Amino acid sequence: MEFTLNEQQQMVEELAKDVAQNAIAPRVEEIEKAEHFPEDLVKLFAESGFVGISFPEEYGGMGMGHIEQAIILKELSRVSPSTGKMLDVMLLGLEAIDLYANHEQKVKYLAPCISGEQIVSFAFTEPETGSDPKMLKTNLKKQADGTYKLNGVKRFISNAAYAGPIVMFANEEGADGQTLCTGFVFDKFCKGYSISSPWEKIGYRGSEVYDIFMDDIIITEDQILGKHGDGFTQLLGTTAYGKLGFTAVFVGNMLGATDLAVKYCREKLHRGKSIAKFPTVQLRIAEQVTYAKTAELLLMHAADICDNNHFANDDVATMRYVQSFTAQAKGYAAEMAPKVCQMAVNSLGAYGVCDEYQVERFLRDAAIAPNIEGAGDIQKLIFGMFILK
């Protein structure tokens, strides 16, 4: 079994490390304090090919795979998990469009995001649910002229304050009175679109989330993704690949905290001797690195499965297969990220909890890992069901 990256993947890794060290690291403080991710860095992601990395060249993408995507997200998050999260939610929205939009919709929505002119959002969560489509309250109502009126509230939506498309899921009444979950895409800041002030949260402070209010937004038939009623399948399909993105962010988060802990332990002296000589310090670092590396191996295994198992709209079996392994990797990384970052903080003692030493930022970001894009517990349930079926 080969564990080395091929030449293309090594080049992608070098570029991602370069962007992380030279463009992101000097601006981490600015990114965290502004609580608004700088648009010029989104442009840089686009120019570096990061936004379009795994999308077709026909729409301006690089035509590479999920392994390359995972490498980029991991390396950016190793310096700034907020930055990794920012790019990841863009990739999630674009994944939905790439998987389920028709050619015209891809030309209209995919291409301007890949070029960095627009920033996409992905909106499922509502005040009453983060994972159950039966609980959705956002509603599409058909009008006499064949258009739809969209009303409702979406909660915790990333990138809602940037111009660009938003992929959304809402309920509508089908012909036989049945409730359908339907996916569609429209432009943010159209008539009837407004947002709250950003939520103040423990971490990912450089990448803000909002509630979105929809008041009689007009949706037309050409904005519907695929067929009416396919929304939940589209959500599962998008997140089957999408779970990989946040796994990469969590792995980068763990590795970044570990890098800082290793550096500190090598440099810190106690009674004139390096603390790196203490067996307890060695033990803690060994555990940290082992958890982070295990998560990284699961990430790369899941990325390889994504790249070797493409699924069409109605191929639920392959989608479930991919989803099981991305869920396995995400469930493990989501559980380990806070643990590894807490160990990193402890390696620095009191300095670990001080802003200046940065490890506390990694711990705050990691605290969100079990609570984003589907709870961490649910990832384990998905993988458990797959193993036991």
* CB 301 within 8 Å of CB 335: no
User: Site for ligand FAD (CB under 6 A): which residue of 375, 380, 384, 386?
Assistant: 375
Nearest to ligand FAD of 297, 378 (CB atom): 378
Residue nearest to ligand FAD (CB): 130
Q: Which residues does 144 contact at the CB level (< 8 Å), separation at least 6?
A: none
Residue 67, burial from CB neighbour count under 10 angstroms (0-12, 13-18, 19+): buried
Measured distance CA(367)–CA(377) in Å, rounded: 14
- Which window, 59-67, 138-146, 256-264, 367-375, contacts ligand FAD (CB under 6 A)? 367-375
Coil/strand/helix, residue 121: strand
By CB under 6 A, residue 109 contacts ligand FAD: no
CA distance 357 to 361: 9
Cα 238 from Cα 119, distance rounded (Å): 17
Draw the binding track, 154-173, toward ligand FAD (x: CB under 6 A; -: no contact): --xxx---------------
Nearer Cβ to ligand FAD (196/346): 196
How many residues lie near ligand FAD (CB under 6 A)? 23
Q: What are phi and psi of 269, to 5 degrees?
A: -105, 145
| Distant-in-sequence, close-in-space partners of 185: CB < 8 Å, separation ≥ 6 | 96, 97, 101, 105, 109, 165, 166, 167, 168, 223, 225
**In the set 6, 21, 102, 131, which binds ligand FAD (CB under 6 A)?**
131
DSSP classification of residue 150? E
- Give the containing element (helix H, strand E) for 289: helix 279-308
Measured from the CB atom, the residue of 307 and 360 that comes closer to ligand FAD is: 360
Q: In angstroms, rounded to a whole number, what is the distance separating the alpha carbons of residues 86 and 373? A: 13
Instruction: Decide if residue 253 touches ligand FAD (CB under 6 A).
Output: no
Site track for ligand FAD across 56-95, x = CB under 6 A:
---------------------------------x------
Q: How far is the CB of 128 from ligand FAD (least distance, A)?
A: 8
Q: Closer to ligand FAD by CB, 184 or 357: give it.
A: 184
Please calculate the CA angle 152-168-253 and round it to the nearest 5 degrees: 115
Alpha carbon distances (Å) from 208 to 116, 159, 196, 251: 18, 7, 11, 21
Where does this chain touch ligand FAD (CB under 6 A) — which range of 171-179, 344-352, 358-366, 369-377? 369-377
Shortest distance, position 218 Cβ to ligand FAD, whole Å: 22
Name residue 153's beta-bridge partners.
213
Indicate which single residue of 130, 192, 229, 384 sits in contact with ligand FAD (rule: CB under 6 A): 130
Q: Map residues 194-213 to x or -, x wherever contact with ligand FAD holds by CB under 6 A.
A: -------x--x----x----
Please identify which residue in the block is written with the tokens 């990694």.
Answer: 362
Within 138-157, the residues that bind ligand FAD by CB under 6 A are 156-157
Residue numbers at the binding site for ligand FAD (CB under 6 A): 89, 122-125, 129-131, 156-158, 201, 204, 209, 368, 371-375, 377-378, 381
